[in-house]
Amino acid sequence: MTTPPGRQPLLDALTHLGAHAGRRATHVRGYCAVGHFAPDDEVAHFADLAILRDGPLPATVRFSVGGSDPAISEKTRNLRGMAMRVHGVHESYDLVLVSEPIFYAATPVSYLSYLEAHAADPNTGVPDPLRIAAHELRHPDTLRLPALLASHAAPSSYASTPYHSAHAFLFSGADGVMRPARMVAEPEAGTRYLSEAQERQLPPAFLEHEMDERLLQGPIRFQLYAQLPAVGDPLDDPSMPWQGQERVPLGVLLITALADNSCDFMTFMPTRLPAGIDPSDDPMLRARANVYAAASLARRR
């Protein structure tokens, strides 16, 4: 059995992909926004959480483009992120969501191999294709997300792509039963990707202006759902899409304004959970939380 890597090797591998001193290891380019989360009236049947009994809750949201380059083009076919902190009276709840329903890798071992394989060769300045090919033979789970990203253009707006937790969590309902689910935030605006003409003509940075223009028409809305697994859907492999189609409405997120860059200094933790939600036994979930904590400490230093 392969020993999982500690958090430092993963953090080092992310850094070697090009992270900048004092910046986050990934999803560097992004914008802060504010709004509130309004729980669904029937949410307690599925998730009986004290934090959701306080009615609409203020939310801090960070939208981002995946990668460690702060100047990355916003037209790149890469992950988009929506990290959200719901501020309760006595506790908070972080949701770390991405624009595809799966994560890069099934395990910390395969994720570390992916990061190391895609790091630039010091002699050529680009990743070694032979090293990437060898990695893909060892870890085919890391082929799924790149294939999804390559299958469509980048989102035309942060407000026109769904966001997913990829990881499963356990929710305690009013009946005391713990039920597994993945989180999904569906945009009211629908899912829209850049056209070929937009890919050619838009400037590398267009998303902030697009959101400013959109917010002039009113709040941006997302419906938050708990996606239930079908029989056989894995609870511990975020690289596999779920087949389960049943969804439970949890509430509505309204983005009301863009904000200053204060959220850039926040660390959104996928395991910062309120009472009534527990993490699943997903090793990648625990590894991501550890790496984010280490990266936050490194930035403060």
Q: What is the CATH number of the domain that holds 24?
A: 2.40.180.10
The string of pLDDT tens digits covering residues 112-132 is 899 889 888 888 888 899 999
pLDDT of residue 297: 44
Domain membership of residue 1 (yes or no) is: no
∠ Cα 46 49 54 (to 5°): 120
Domain membership of residue 227 (yes or no) is: yes
Domain membership of residue 175 (yes or no) is: yes
pLDDT of residue 278: 96
- Predicted TM-score (pTM) of the model is 0.91
Domain membership of residue 117 (yes or no) is: yes
Structural domain harbouring 53? 7-300
| Cα distances (angstroms) measured from residue 76 to each of 13, 144, 155, 160, 186 | 22, 18, 9, 16, 22
Domain membership of residue 2 (yes or no) is: no
- DSSP codes, 30-71: EEEEEEEEEE-TTGGGT---GGGGGSSEEEEEEEEESSS-TT
**Region for 263 from its dihedrals, namely left if φ exceeds 0, alpha if ψ lies in -120 to 50, beta otherwise:** alpha
∠ Cα 70 133 145 (to 5°): 50
Supply 140's token pair.
Answer: 């085919």
* Residues of the chain falling short of pLDDT 50: 1, 297-301
Count of CB atoms within 10 A of residue 207's CB?
23
Domain membership of residue 132 (yes or no) is: yes
Q: What pairing do the DSSP bridges indicate for beta strands 247-258 and 277-279?
A: unpaired
Domain membership of residue 102 (yes or no) is: yes
- H helix runs in the chain, sequence order: 7-16, 108-117, 129-138, 144-150, 196-201, 207-215, 283-300
pLDDT of residue 7: 57
Domain membership of residue 231 (yes or no) is: yes
How many separate domains does the chain show?
A: 1
Helix %, strand %, coil % of the chain (to 5): 30, 25, 45
The string of pLDDT tens digits covering residues 282-291 is 999 988 887 7
pLDDT of residue 14: 63
| Cα distances (angstroms) measured from residue 110 to each of 62, 115, 137, 239, 252 | 27, 9, 11, 11, 35
